[in-house]
Amino acid sequence: MSICLALVVITATPALSSRSKDEAEKIAKLKAAFLLNFMKFSEWPEDSFKDDDSPILLTVYGADTIGTALDQTLADRAVHGRTIVIHRVLPPVRNRYKKSEEYRAALSATMDRLRQSHVVLLAGLGEESTQHLINSVADAPVLLVGDGKQYINNQTMLDLVEDEGRIRIYANRKALEESQVKVSSRLLKLAVLVGEK
Amino acid sequence: MLCLFNKIYSRVSIKLLLLLLITSGFAVAVVAATLAIANGNTLRDVERESVRSQASIVAMDAAAAVSFQDTAACDDTLIALVAQPNITGATVFLTDGAPFSRQHTDGRSADKLYYFETGTRIEASQMLHSEPVVQDGDVIGQLIVRVDLATLSNRLRSNTVLAGLVSIVAIALTTLIAWRLRGVIEKPISELVSVADHVYNTKDYTVRAKKISNDEFGKLTTQFNAMLARIETHDAKLQEANDTLEQRVHERTAELEVERDRAETANRAKSQFLANMSHEIRTPMTAIIGFSDLLIDPDQSASERLDAVQTVRRNGQHLLSIINDILDISKIEAGMMTVEKIQADLIPLIADITSLSRAKAAERQIDLAVDYRGQIPQQIQTDPTRVRQMVMNLINNAIKFTDPGGSVRLVISLEKATSNDPLLHIDIIDTGIGMTPDQLSKLFKPFTQADETMTRRFGGTGLGLAITRHLTEMLGGSIDVTSSPGQGSTFALRLPTGPLEDVTLLSSVRESDYGHLMVPPEHARTQETTRYAGRVLLAEDGPDNQRLIRHVLAKAGYDVVVVENGKLATEHAWRDQPGGQPAFDIILMDMQMPVMDGYTAVSKLRQTGYKLPIIALTAHAMAGDRERCINAGCDEYTTKPIDRAKLTGMIQEFITKFEGPIDPPPDAQSHAPEAAPQPVEKQLGTPKPTDLSTPNERVLLSEFADDPTMAELVEMFLSELPERIVNIERALREEDLHRLATFAHQLKGAAGGYGYPDITELARAVEADARDENEIMKLSEGIGELKELCERARLALTKEAAQS
């Protein structure tokens, strides 16, 4: 598994300038590996799991930027002895609901689902939705990871930022501090820390 | 140096110190080494643990970096690690072995680390540790850390040095403490040693070692002291034994000295005795020889000759008395003198004694009187012979030392007549010269008279009083003397009388009542007026005695047959018995004879039934001789020189006793020559009177020159003399000493027999020289003298021949 990851890293490194399909693929895989490592360096409250056999629930919210690479990377992997289940949730589209109440209900239901997750990967969401989501799950034991530079200032706990073919980790101290999920300082050493303390 | 070392090493404390040093040094060294090794191991373990824990921390830190491929972060982590001292390099390998991050201290970059499985290795001076980098249970890499062990080694080395220093200090301290405490061991030993030295050097066993401790040294000290005490006791005992021994040696030496002095004194006394005796004997001998010479001188008148003969006789008797005294003294000194106690008539005894002395007293014009006072026992129990001897001696002394005109009185009395121990007093009182107290003190000792001059003046052996005192004591009495010079002396004799119950006591006894008992003077008795008859066998080997006795007996009227030994005597005694009549009436038997001696002959005769009397003749006058003769079978015993009257009287007594007077004495004058059986006797003719008016000093006359019966015999002897001398001289030439001795011996015997004692004497000397090889040189000289003497004897022959 680690050999695979290593291969990914090695193969991903040369393709920097031109965004080829392969290159994108590599980045995706890299992100998937990072995400997995994030889970390894994070701890959740005990009551966030129903029992010892309960899997870690990863919910991809928004655009599925990593796609199948995620599935491939996480397939048959276990973190902290738990299997990983991947859910993909799209935010409710306002237009689809006739009534705002319905929309809100749907949104609330989505939020609830997100709150039930252990890791939420945000990608491709607008400012408003992002903020709404952050507010909604702030008090739940959820590791909020943003995929992209735009989430750095939005109080996501960790962000994966592509930089010249490499992935940088950004960490928001305040968000990390307020969250029920504890992220290992060793991970944070590798990250670029943002946000006020 | 070595010497000093030895001296030091010889001390126990030094040995102990060395022992301590070696053992403690060894112990400390072992401990230090063990600790050093343990310390090294511990340090290494600590180092390893430290490296492991650091590695594990770094590995954990690195896990994130490795997970997120963050080489820079990983580098940072490793840099922090490598900044640690000792850690010179660290490398993180990925699981495929590819190095992920390398960091090292300066100068060690060339030293690449390589990948290896989890664990620790030590290579040369470095330790390598491999720690897995684990992320969530997965090994994602391997951290290799290199630790430089040089510092550790340095630390170990300095630790070891420290341990060594500490060891040395510890040993030094131990030694110092031990040195300070050595007294505990050394002191008791030193004490013992010093005491032992003292004892050895001074032999003083009274010292004791001081007990310093109660340990084994204390025990040793106690035992040592006990040993000293025992030695001291033994020493004292030994000393005491030595002292005792010395004391005893001293005592014994002193005793021995006393004994030796006594023996020397006794020896001197004996020598003195011999000297005195020689003197005493020589004096009368000189007179005898001198007057004998006068007799030989033909110029002497008949009266002079008679005087000379009387002098010779007197001196001869004096000599005899001296010899008797000597015998008595020697008997007394030998403890062999015996006295008997028989009933003896007192008054006749005294009378007998005084009668014998009266003539001498009269001769010296001295009045001799006996005074009986009070009651006088008729008989007393004593030894009359000894009493006679004592009293006679005392009277003779008194007469001797009293000047003419004086008196000698015997006062006889009885003391304590009624008591159990009555004493008879015999006081001899003279008016003589008396004695000084000094003289008195020596009076009763042998050989002492008042002084030497007195001896010369008065004569005497000086033995008489000594003998008298001894005899008195033996008889149970005593003798005392009181005297002062010029006033006379009183000798007081006290004799026990024995019980007087049955004894008549006489009163008013007077000497004159017993005067008839007086014996006629001696010269009267010796006159040969009596003639006897009888046959006598004389067994006698000596020619002189043969002749003398035959002469005496023949003159007395006896028929005499002479044989020269005991064997012939036994044959003659039995041979001639015609008609059963014994050939001889009596046998005179000399006891010492060749072939068969008298004892044997008498015994044989008695065994074969010879019953007639036998009278023993012997020169021995000692005690026991008489018994021997009687035991051998003799009837009586008489000593030589013979007393004519006594011998003839004795013979007649026995002849009469055994046979009774066979023939009353006839006219002896005519009878004797006829009865003589000896042809020799018959041949004797009337002697030719020797003409003594023509003196010739060179003529050697026979003793029998005056005896006509001997003349012919002497002549025969003289005629044979030249032949004898020739034989002797020939033997000398031929150096046949044995024959020479034989001839000399024969001449000796013959010359004696014919009255030539001088020839006998020379012949004896020649014989003796011939038998002694050492005296051969003297032989010819002796023979020369002998020859000359013989020629002088033969002169008489030629004279006679010329005269006839």
Q: In Å, how far is B83's CA from the nearest CA of chain A?
A: 19
At A19 the pLDDT is 57
CB–CB of A40 and B96 under 8 A? Answer: no
| Best to test chain A binding among B67, B75, B100 (most A CBs inside 10 Å) | B67
Q: Looking at chain B, which residue has its C-alpha nearest residue A30?
A: B68
Closest Cα partner for B766 from B801, B706, B705, B724? B724
Average pLDDT over residues B97-119: 76
Q: Is the pLDDT of residue B328 over 60?
A: yes
Mean pLDDT of B207-223: 85
Residue B709 has pLDDT above 80, yes or no: no
Give the number of other CB atoms < 10 A from CB of residue B444: 16
Cis peptide before B284 (omega within 30 of 0): no
Selecting from A34, A79, A169 the residue whose C-beta is nearest the C-beta of B136 gives A79
Q: Which residue has the tokens 């008879």?
A: B424
Section A172-197 average pLDDT: 84
Task: Give 3-state DSSP helix, strand, coil % of chain B, rounded to 5.
Answer: 60, 15, 25
Asked if the Cβ–Cβ distance from A3 to B138 is below 8 Å, we say no
Set of chain A residues whose Cβ sits within 8 Å of the Cβ of B92: none
Q: How remote is the C-alpha of B453 from its chain's centroid? A: 41
Report the chain B residue with the minimal C-alpha distance to residue A169: B68
Quote the crossing angle between the two packed helices B625-632 and B598-607, to the nearest 10°: 30
Whether the per-residue pLDDT at B456 is higher than 60: the answer is: no
**How, if at all, do strands B367-372 and B478-484 pair?**
unpaired
Contact at 8 Å (CB) between B612 and B602? no
Contact yes or no for B95 and A3 at CB 8 A: yes
Closest-CA distance, A90 to chain B, in angstroms, reads 29
- Domains in chain A, number: 1
Q: Tell whether the torsion through CA atoms of A169, A173, A178 and A180 is positive or negative.
A: positive
Query: What average pLDDT score do residues B608-634 get?
Result: 81
DSSP class of A95: G
Distance CA A36, CA A184 (A): 14
Residue B242 has pLDDT above 90, yes or no: yes
Interface test with B, best of A39, A186, A193 (most B CBs within 10 A): A186
Mean confidence (pLDDT) of chain A: 82
Closest CA to B685 of B705, B716, B711: B711
Residue A159 confidence (pLDDT) above 70? yes
Contacts of A6 in chain B (CB under 8 A): 69, 94-96
Beta bridge partners of B491: B428, B481
Whether the pLDDT of residue A103 is over 90: the answer is: no
Order of strands, edge to edge, in the sheet holding B614-618? B558-563, B534-539, B586-590, B614-618, B636-639
Residue B181: count other Cβ atoms within 10 Å of its Cβ: 13
B96/A41 touch (CB, cutoff 8 Å), yes or no: no
* pLDDT confidence of residue B245: 94
Report CB contact under 8 Å: B68, A187.
yes
CATH number at residue A142: 3.40.50
Which of B442, B446, B439, B445 lies closest to B485 in space, CA to CA?
A: B439
Inter-chain residue contact B69 with A3, CB threshold 8 Å: no
Helices (H) and strands (E) in chain B, counts: 24, 19
In DSSP notation, B496-561 reads E----TTSPEE-S--GGGGGGGPPPPHHHHHS------EEEEEE---HHHHHHHHHHHHHHTEEEE
Given CB atoms, is B68 within the 8 Å cutoff of chain A?
A: yes
Whether the per-residue pLDDT at B714 is higher than 90: the answer is no
The answer to whether the Cβ–Cβ distance between B67 and A79 falls below 8 Å is no
Cα dist from B694 to A152, A188, B688, B716, B796, whole Å: 217, 203, 15, 23, 11
What residues of A are in contact with residue B60 (Cβ under 8 Å)?
Answer: 186
Which residues in chain B have their CB less than 8 angstroms from residue A187's CB?
A: 64, 68
- Which has the closest alpha carbon to B632: B697, B684, B569? B569
Can you give the pLDDT at residue B243?
93
pLDDT the model gives residue B7: 65
- Extract the tokens encoding B391: 């009293």
User: CA-nearest residue of chain A to B59?
Assistant: A186
- Taking CA atoms, what residue in A is nearest to B135? A40
Under the banding of pLDDT at 50, 70 and 90, the label for residue B253 is very high
Do B68 and A186 count as a contact with CB atoms less than 8 A apart?
Answer: no
The pLDDT value recorded for residue B254 is 93
B299-320 pLDDT tens trace: 777 777 888 888 888 888 888 8
Q: How far apart are CA B772 and CA B747, in angstroms?
A: 18
| Cα B634 to chain centroid, rounded | 43
- Give start and end residues of each alpha helix (H) in A55-178: 68-74, 100-116, 127-137, 173-178
Identify the band that residue B109 occupies on the pLDDT scale cut at 50, 70 and 90.
Answer: low
Answer whether B413 touches A (CB < 8 Å): no
Interface of A with B (CB under 8 A): 1-3, 6, 9, 34, 37, 40-41, 79-80, 169, 184, 186-187, 189-190
pLDDT at B447: 55
B138 inside 8 A of chain A by CB = yes
In chain B, residues with a C-beta closer than 8 Å to the C-beta of A2 are 94-95, 138, 140
Q: How far apart are CA B667 and CA B677, in angstroms?
A: 18
Check CB contact under 8 Å for A3 and B68.
no
pLDDT score of B425: 92
Instruction: List pLDDT tens digits, range B145-177.
Output: 888 888 778 878 888 888 888 888 888 888 888
Q: How far apart are CA B1 and CA B457, in angstroms?
A: 102
Maximum C-alpha span of chain B: 209
- The alpha carbon of residue B90 is apart from the nearest alpha carbon of chain A, in Å, by 19
B96 in contact with chain A, both atoms CB, cutoff 8 A:
yes
Give the number of A-B residue pairs with CB atoms closer than 8 Å: 40
What are the backbone dihedrals phi and psi of residue B74, each rounded to the nearest 5 degrees, phi first?
A: -65, -40
Q: Given B61, B68, B140, which is nearest A2 (Cβ)?
A: B140
Q: Which residues partner with B478 through β-bridges?
A: B494
Q: Report CA B37 to chain centroid distance, whole Å.
A: 96
Which residue in the set B61, B95, B138 is minimally distant from A186, CB to CB?
A: B61
Parent domain of A24: 2-194
CA-wise closest residue to B756 among B538, B540, B547, B551: B547
B408 vs A17, which has greater pLDDT? B408
All residues of chain A having their beta carbon less than 8 Å from the beta carbon of residue B96 are: 3, 6
Q: What DSSP state is assigned to residue A93?
A: P
Distance from CA of A64 to the nearest CA of B (A): 22
CB neighbour class for B674 (10 Å; exposed up to 12, middle 13-18, buried from 19) = exposed
**pLDDT surpasses 80 at B712:** no
Nearest residue in chain B measured CA to CA from A39: B136
Which residue shows structure tokens 């940072």?
Answer: B76
Give the pLDDT confidence of B587-609 residue by residue, as tens digits: 999 888 878 888 889 998 888 88
Identify the closest residue of chain A to B95 by CA–CA distance.
Answer: A3
- Tokens 């005769």 correspond to B605
Count of CA atoms in the C-beta half-sphere (13 A) of B193: 9
Q: Supply B21's token pair.
A: 């040093």
Interface contact B96-A3, CB threshold 8 A: yes
B69 touches chain A (CB under 8 A): yes
The mean pLDDT value for A135-160 works out to 84
Share of chain B above pLDDT 70, in %: 84
Residue B286: pLDDT band (50, 70, 90) is confident
pLDDT value of position B237: 92
Show the CA angle centred on residue B507, arms to residues B503 and B509, nearest 5°: 105
Q: For residues B654 and B665, what is the distance between their CA atoms, to the nearest angstrom?
A: 15
- pTM: predicted TM-score of the whole model, two decimal places: 0.38
Q: Which of A9, A41, A80 sits opposite B69 (nearest CB)?
A: A9
Enclosing H/E stretch for B88: strand B87-94
Q: Looking at residues B615-630, what average pLDDT do you find? A: 77
Is B411 at the interface with chain A, CB within 8 A?
no
Residue of B768, B749, B323 lying closest to B540 (CA atoms): B749
Name the token pair of B468: 């008298």
Q: Rounded distance, CA B220 to CA B209, Å?
A: 10
- Interface touch B64/A187, C-beta < 8 Å: yes
Q: What share of chain A is helix, strand, coil (3-state, %, to 5)?
A: 45, 25, 30
**Phi and psi, residue B486, nearest 5°:** 85, -10
Q: Could you list the beta-strand ranges (E) of B149-272.
A: none
Nearest-neighbour CA in chain A from B138: distance (Å):
9
Query: Which of B69, B95, B135 lies closest to A40 in CB terms?
Result: B135
Q: Give the mean model confidence (pLDDT) for residues B6-17.
A: 72
Q: What is the mean pLDDT of residues A60-85?
A: 86
Contacts of A9 in chain B (CB under 8 A): 69
Q: For chain B, what is the mean pLDDT?
A: 79
- Fill in the amino acid letter for B741: A
When comparing pLDDT for B435 and B448, which is higher? B435
Higher-confidence residue of B187 and B530: namely B187
| Of B514 and A142, more confident | A142
Decide if B138 and A184 are in contact by the 8 Å CB cutoff. no
Would the CB atoms of A37 and B67 count as touching at under 8 Å?
yes
Which of A189, A192, A193 has the highest number of chain B CBs within 10 A, making it the mutation to test binding with B? A189
Band of the pLDDT at B74, cuts 50, 70, 90? confident
How far is B496 from B172, CA to CA, in rounded Å? 115
Whether residue B703 is predicted with pLDDT greater than 90 in this model: the reply is: no
A42-43 and A56-62 strand pairing: unpaired
Task: Give residue for tokens 């600790």.
Answer: B35
Distance of CA B477 to the CA centre of its chain: 38
What is the distance in angstroms between the CA of the first residue and the CA of the last residue of chain B? 129
- What's the pLDDT score for residue B250? 94
Inspect the interface and report whether the beta carbons of B64 and A169 lie closer than 8 Å: no
Q: Which among A6, A79, A189 has CB closest to B64?
A: A189
Inter-residue contact B429 to B488 (CB < 8 Å) = yes
Question: Highest mean pLDDT: which of A33-47, B242-256, B517-531, B641-655?
Answer: B242-256
Annotate B119-130 with b (16+ C-beta within 10 A) or e (fewer): ebeeeeebbbbb
Residue B220 has pLDDT above 70, yes or no: yes
Whether residue B59 contacts residue B134, with contact meaning beta carbons closer than 8 Å, is answered with yes
B490 in reach of chain A (CB within 8 A): no
pLDDT for residue B676: 35
Model pLDDT, residue B206? 86
Q: How far is A10 from chain B (nearest CA, A)?
A: 10
Using an 8 Å Cβ cutoff, are B141 and B132 in contact?
A: yes
- Name the CA radius of gyration of chain A, rounded: 17
